[in-house]
Structure 1
């Protein structure tokens, strides 16, 4: 086990040695705030000009003035990007692209970048030493329709709701469609919020929304004749949504040394930030958040606030605010390939399995890999090294789904997909993590997900009314195919307030250590190890605090639990601490309501 005492942040995000750093003011190029004009094509042209006259030894600062800048799809770049954990539809319409551009800073002054239609606001592609500073990303017309319940007739099964002032809609064949600039959609699901607190309604989860069988009573006021849900009392606010996630607010691909300071994403139809195959990412004051306490919106992004797939080096998130998103605050993982064929004792075919995770590179020559039995999540001891990896395509324009991979050493004869399902994990592309001083609140699903064997510190965060579990350590070579095991993680000095108010996947306790293991009884080894949960405060209305499965080495020590009556207890897990196939435990010096607590 690697001690976190040895973990240091060694990322140097300063620009590489340069002869000079030059500042370009966009106002000098006719790009001015608050005009309402479409700046997309002009900014694209200006960025190309600046890049064209910048040498490798120069740094560039591109300065936005304070105010609002509008970006429309007209004149935007069209790009084919395969983005992990998003819909793989192409092309994407890109607002700002930083591609093969190093030592560059996009600097605002609390500047608002307002996007229209369906766009990918900011793409950072194969660039290094990039800083994004003091910028806000938002959309004029979000694809989530916010409505308020006016009345609820639970006997007849009809609900009257009113759309928020900015929501545009039409009713066609008695069906409600949310409409925007060049798009329309029928919401199929929803998240219900308390009007005053913006907490998600207790024990509601994903609700069915009444968008079929509707009629208009007056402008903005609609009756859903067949919508029945007694939890939706008048005043309840619903974020009505679909399951589409075409693009994140910020996309980082094959970058190195990427820094975000005081950047806010107020809405995106996918995730707030998605980074893949990137080395070293630093976020200070990053937010996927509302525009303050008086923001009339209750929601932010359609999916995760931040998500990191197949990254390495160090990922740092500190002093962030993540709220109102329709999924997790942070998710860090790699991707298992499924071994579908063994060509010889050194060569296999590996395949991306999930429909939202394919099309991008998976590994490089000299990367270290390991192999896992999908049913038991047991690892073979022997690691191996890639000596060649080649995408397999029928046509050159096809997205990458399969690879032919040759390894340096002969494989164990048991590593054979004809005998058992096997996942392949790339260990070279796994990061260490610092997640400190963040606030996560009023969001759907879960708080923070970590799946990396490298040292991870989760400290001094506030998890306030995450509707699922607050922290999840997962690992799955069967459904999402998201790697892998945690080997060295410290969770300390965090405060958890009334997590787990609804049920979602893997949400068995406030802290849930839940690798997906179809055959736990057949497992020989342990998936996770080196987990330390120390000096945390839990304020909770229900029983489950910690659930752990398949762990070797678990410390739960010096934690304080305070019970309350904000909601009724409802969880099917009625144990404070529930362990399944866990060894090497130290559960000591914990208190509940000021008294010693020893559940074992």
Structure 2
């Protein structure tokens, strides 16, 4: 018996077979700092097929990953651009797997996607940072300005791949591609955030006339509405559809994913995009810029589409990204044709959702109106036939006999998560702090928000991004909101409203329900608190709003605006230090509104 066991042991060692529960030191497989780790990491991960309980451990160091010898697969990535993608860590079909970076930096070059989880269960990612040798954007630091001819001189960074000026146009070189001036934003080095009213300094590629005036300097004329101040950093990151090709972490059709002690400094897209996945936990995940850059990721810090279970964020810090901190939502897909029985010919609505797994047999779905974005009928999916990335046939268990005329959509009710956000910081970024459009239970507690646009946006739309999710149970409590809306001065800490086209209209019922914004502290230069449209069950209570003079003070907008709302309580809020009237504005069709015991807030004459 002993000889048989010894023979098996020798065989396993000889074949490098991995046993469940093994800890693999990557150095034992020739993976070391200072060389391209990609092909060896690819092969090592491939060897884990069929194994479970494995930990891949990196001794602390800087590991480099290049695209040339990476595995290549076509990947549909929601809210990004689908393409053949080079993958550094293709984690496909793994169970109870841990990637432990040991405090290492994973440094990437070019358009390579760092980490992809597909159909995995129980994966933990921990103890590493993700960065690129050169980021996906360029930073133009203003060193001279001339108001008379609306021009400025800027130093360009990074300069590793250089830049060109051709026929008066600035062309910025990357690893193996070139960008013109594209989507961009001006960052203020004094605050490390977007400028107050940053659109004044928006770069306009068509009118800009470029002249090279030094090895790393360019003069731009008629590129902005007014020349930016000296010291301003203009960040430009190319145009769609080529500026969202390389997300940092993609979690796809996976379950029970944990990400802890991970920092993302750059990405050609989002730091984390998750879709059709269940239970995702983030602890001490940081998205930020390096000391040498002012901008971090090209897009959102985190984004969750069509997930379920629990999305949990604790002790995270998201800052300096070029889009939102977190976005949680579902998707509306268009119904193009109904066969008169139970089958609908459907179309993925947005170009950056093509390839999305919208539904599978057994999922509960809602037929909704595209005219009012309101629900019509709830049923169950019986069959799905995928024709291509964009078109799908969906057969339902039953449909109403009086299916209304007019444009319709489908919304998946099964794949909506609960959300818990505690002790996080989301600040100094373009766009919003949190977008929450899920029918699950949501708790946002003890966080810090300071964002260029709305602090928390609860939306849902069937017109632009087709992000579904009229909320049902949201509690936002004991958070700190600092100087929300410094992009234009017109954004709210809480904005709850479906986004409608002019040809769309509000229906008889409310789209959102049960939103509680309570006991929060706000430092505000404009006195704005909440904007709500089509909400049933809105509570604004116990909030303290103090005047901040960090930005120009004052606003002509109402502090609270209500439209088509029902069962609203505005109570025990304190507005402190404002020297202009703060008011509540109501449309004619609000009902059951109670406003009382608010300090420094004007009560409409028709309220008690």
Q: Which residue of 1 aligns with 2:568?
A: 585
Deviation at 1:173, TM superposition (A): 2.7
Runs of 5+ unmatched residues, structure 1: 1-17, 393-398
SS at the partner of 2:352?
Answer: coil
In the superposition, relative to structure 1, how do residues 299 and 361 fare at CA in structure 2: closer, same or farther (>3 Å)? Answer: same
Please point out which of 294, 298, 303 is paired with 1:298: 294
CA distance in 1 between counterparts of 2:355 and 2:488 reads 32
Larger deviation: 184-193 or 99-108? 184-193
Cα distance change on mapping 1:522 and 1:102 into 2, 3 Å: closer
1:69 to 55, 60, 63: 63
Range moving further from structure 2, 64-73 or 19-28? 19-28
Question: Deviation per CA, 1:489-542, whole angstroms, max 9, x where unpaired?
Answer: 0000110110101249xx742211121134676511000001111110110111
Aligned to 1:94: 87
Q: Which has the higher contact order (CA 8 A, sep 6+)?
A: 1
Return the offset for 1:207: 4.5
Instruction: Give the drift of 1:361.
Output: 1.6
Aligned to 2:595: none
- Distance across 2 between alignment mates of 1:463 and 1:474: 18
2:31 maps to which residue? 31
SS of 1:87's partner is coil
Once the two structures are superposed, residues 526-561 of structure 1 have per-residue CA deviations (whole angstroms, 9 ceiling, x without a partner) of 000011111101101113210000000000000000
Cα offset, 1:569, TM superposition = 4.2
Structure 2 vs 1, CA of residues 231 and 199 (structure 1 numbering), >3 Å: closer, same or farther?
Answer: farther
- How far apart are 1:374 and its partner, in Å? 1.6
Q: Which residue of 2 aligns with 1:13?
A: none
Whether 1:436 and 2:422 are equivalent positions in the alignment is: yes
Aligned-residue Cα RMSD (Å) equals 2.0
The structure that has the greater radius of gyration is: 2
Deviations along 1:356-406, whole A, 9 cap, x unmatched? 1111321111111112212212212x31011111112xxxxxx42122111
Is the Cα–Cα contact under 8 Å of residues 287 and 318 in structure 2 kept in the other structure?
yes
Question: Displacement of 1:599 after TM fit?
Answer: 4.3
Q: Residue 69 of structure 1: SS of its match in structure 2?
A: strand
Report what 1:276 is aligned to: 275
Compute the TM-score of the two structures, normalised by the length of structure 1: 0.90
CA distance in 2, matches of 1:426, 1:43: 37
SS in 2 for 1:42: helix
Is the CA contact 1:332–1:449 (under 8 Å) kept in the aligned structure 2?
A: yes
**Which of 444, 464, 470 does residue 458 from structure 1 map onto?**
444
Work out whether residues 146 and 227 of structure 2, in 8 Å CA contact, stay in contact via their aligned partners in 1.
no
Aligned to 2:259: 260
Q: Which residue of 2 aligns with 1:388?
A: 383
In structure 2, what is the Cα distance between the partners aligned to 1:449 and 1:462? 15
Q: Deviations over 1:458-484 (max 9, x none)?
A: 1111012x1001100011112211101
Q: CA deviation at 1:331?
A: 0.4
Indicate if the aligned counterparts of 1:25 and 1:63 stay in contact, CA closer than 8 A.
Answer: yes
CA shift at 1:429, angstroms? 0.6
Residue of structure 1 equivalent to 2:522: 538
1:411 Cα deviation after fit: 2.5
1:410 aligns to 2:396 (yes or no): no
* Deviation for aligned residue 1:113: 0.5
The residue aligned with 2:412 is 426
TM value normalised by structure 2: 0.89
Against the structure 1 CA distance between its residues 517 and 158, is the aligned structure 2 distance closer, same or farther, given a 3 Å change threshold? closer
* Equivalent-residue separation in structure 2 for 1:522 and 1:21 (angstroms): 56
Contact 1:487 1:529 in 2 (8 A): yes
C-alpha distance 47-206 of structure 1, shift in aligned 2 (>3 A): farther
**SS of 1:43's equivalent?**
helix
Match of 2:599 among 577, 588, 596: 596
8 A Cα contact 1:554 1:585, kept in partner: yes
CA distance in 2: counterparts of 1:485 and 1:165, whole angstroms: 43
Q: Is the 8 A contact 1:63 1:106 kept in 2?
A: yes
Aligned to 1:6: none
Query: Matched residues in 2 for 1:362 and 1:151: separation?
Result: 51
Matching residue of 2:176: 182
Q: Residues of 2 paired with 1:297 and 1:19: CA distance?
A: 43
Kept after mapping to 2: 8 A contact 1:143/1:178: no
2:200 and 2:132 map into 1 onto residues whose CA distance is 24
Q: Does 1:84 align with 2:84?
A: no
- Sort the Cα spacing of 1:570 and 1:373 in 2 relative to 1 into closer, same or farther, 3 A: farther
- CA spacing shift, 1:557–1:78, aligned 2, 3 Å: same
Q: What CA distance in whole angstroms lies between the structure 2 residues aligned with 1:371 and 1:503? A: 37
Query: Does structure 2 conserve the Cα–Cα contact (< 8 Å) formed by 1:496 and 1:539?
Result: yes
Q: Is the 8 A contact 1:159 1:228 kept in 2?
A: no
